[in-house]
Structure 1
Amino acid sequence: MAVAGGKTCTVNGGSGVLSYSKNSNFQRNAIDAAKELINKAISENLDINIFPSSNTFKVADLGCATGPNTFLAVQNIIDAVETKYQSQGNTSQVPEFQVFFNDHAGNDFNHLFISLPPERRYFATGVPGSFHDRLFPRASLHFAHSSYSVQILSRVPKEVEDKNSPAWNKGRIQYSNSTVEVVEAYQAQYAKDMESFLKARAEEIVSGGLMAFIVPGRPDGSSHSEAFVNKASELLGSCLMDMANKGKILSEKVDSLNFPMYNASPQEVEAAVKRNGCFRIEMMEIVPQEMPQPKAFCSTMRAGAGTTLKQHFGEEIDLDELFDLLHKKFEEKFFYVFESGNAISLFVLLKRVGTE
Structure 2
Amino acid sequence: MIIKFQKNIIEAVELKYHGNHQKHQSLEFQVFFNDHANNDFNTLFKNLHHNHNRKFFAAGVPGTFHCRLFPKSSLHFGHSSFALQWLSKTPSEVLDTKSPAWNKGSIHCTGYHTEVAEAYSSQFKNDMETFLNARAQELVNGGLLVIIMSALQDGVLLSQSSIGMTYDLLGPCLQNMAKSVRLQIPSL
Does structure 2 conserve the Cα–Cα contact (< 8 Å) formed by 1:144 and 1:210?
yes
- 1:245-324 equivalent positions in 2, closer than 5 A: 249=176, 312-313=178-179, 315=181
Task: Identify the residue that residue 85 of structure 1 maps to in structure 2.
Answer: 17
What CA distance in whole angstroms lies between the structure 1 residues aligned with 2:36 and 2:173? 27
Q: Cα distance 1:109–1:175, how it changes in 2: closer, same or farther (>3 A)?
A: same
What CA distance in whole angstroms lies between the structure 2 residues aligned with 1:106 and 1:171? 26
Does structure 2 conserve the Cα–Cα contact (< 8 Å) formed by 1:216 and 1:229?
no
Matching of residue 157 in structure 1 with residue 67 in structure 2: no
What CA distance in whole angstroms lies between the structure 2 residues aligned with 1:106 and 1:313? 24
What CA distance in whole angstroms lies between the structure 1 residues aligned with 2:144 and 2:179? 41
Runs (4 or more) in structure 1 with deviation over 6 Å come to: none
Q: Cα distance 1:158–1:149, how it changes in 2: closer, same or farther (>3 A)?
A: same
Moved more, 116-125 or 168-177: 168-177
Instruction: Map Cα deviations across residues 32-59 of structure 1 (whole Å, 9 max, x no partner).
Output: xxxxxxxxxxxxxxxxxxxxxxxxxxxx
Matching of residue 204 in structure 1 with residue 141 in structure 2: no
1:179 Cα deviation from its structure 2 partner: 1.6
Instruction: Map Cα deviations across residues 40-92 of structure 1 (whole Å, 9 max, x no partner).
Output: xxxxxxxxxxxxxxxxxxxxxxxxxxxxx322222221111111123335452
Task: Identify the residue that residue 110 of structure 1 maps to in structure 2.
Answer: 42
Matching of residue 97 in structure 1 with residue 29 in structure 2: yes
User: For 2:78, what is the secondary structure of its paired residue?
Assistant: strand
RMSD: 2.3
Q: Cα distance 1:182–1:77, how it changes in 2: closer, same or farther (>3 A)?
A: same
What CA distance in whole angstroms lies between the structure 2 residues aligned with 1:171 and 1:154? 18
1:110 Cα deviation from its structure 2 partner: 1.4
- 1:139-158 equivalent positions in 2, closer than 5 A: 139-158=73-92
Q: Which amino acid aligns with 2:43?
A: H
- 1:1-356 equivalent positions in 2, closer than 5 A: 69-90=1-22, 92-116=24-48, 117-237=51-171, 239-240=172-173, 249=176, 312-313=178-179, 315=181
1:127 Cα deviation from its structure 2 partner: 0.4
1:181 Cα deviation from its structure 2 partner: 1.1
Q: Which amino acid aligns with 1:83?
A: L
1:118 Cα deviation from its structure 2 partner: 2.2
What CA distance in whole angstroms lies between the structure 1 residues aligned with 2:148 and 2:65? 15
Q: Cα distance 1:314–1:128, how it changes in 2: closer, same or farther (>3 A)?
A: farther
- Identity over the aligned pairs, expressed in percent? 48
Q: Which amino acid aligns with 1:76?
A: N
Q: Which amino acid aligns with 1:240?
A: C
Q: Which amino acid aligns with 1:149?
A: A
User: For 2:24, what is the secondary structure of its paired residue?
Assistant: helix
1:187 Cα deviation from its structure 2 partner: 0.3
What CA distance in whole angstroms lies between the structure 2 residues aligned with 1:136 and 1:144? 11
Does structure 2 conserve the Cα–Cα contact (< 8 Å) formed by 1:85 and 1:91?
no
1:100 Cα deviation from its structure 2 partner: 0.7
What CA distance in whole angstroms lies between the structure 2 residues aligned with 1:221 and 1:95? 47
1:222 Cα deviation from its structure 2 partner: 3.4
User: For 1:132, what is the secondary structure of its paired residue?
Assistant: coil
User: For 2:127, what is the secondary structure of its paired residue?
Assistant: helix
Does structure 2 conserve the Cα–Cα contact (< 8 Å) formed by 1:169 and 1:178?
no
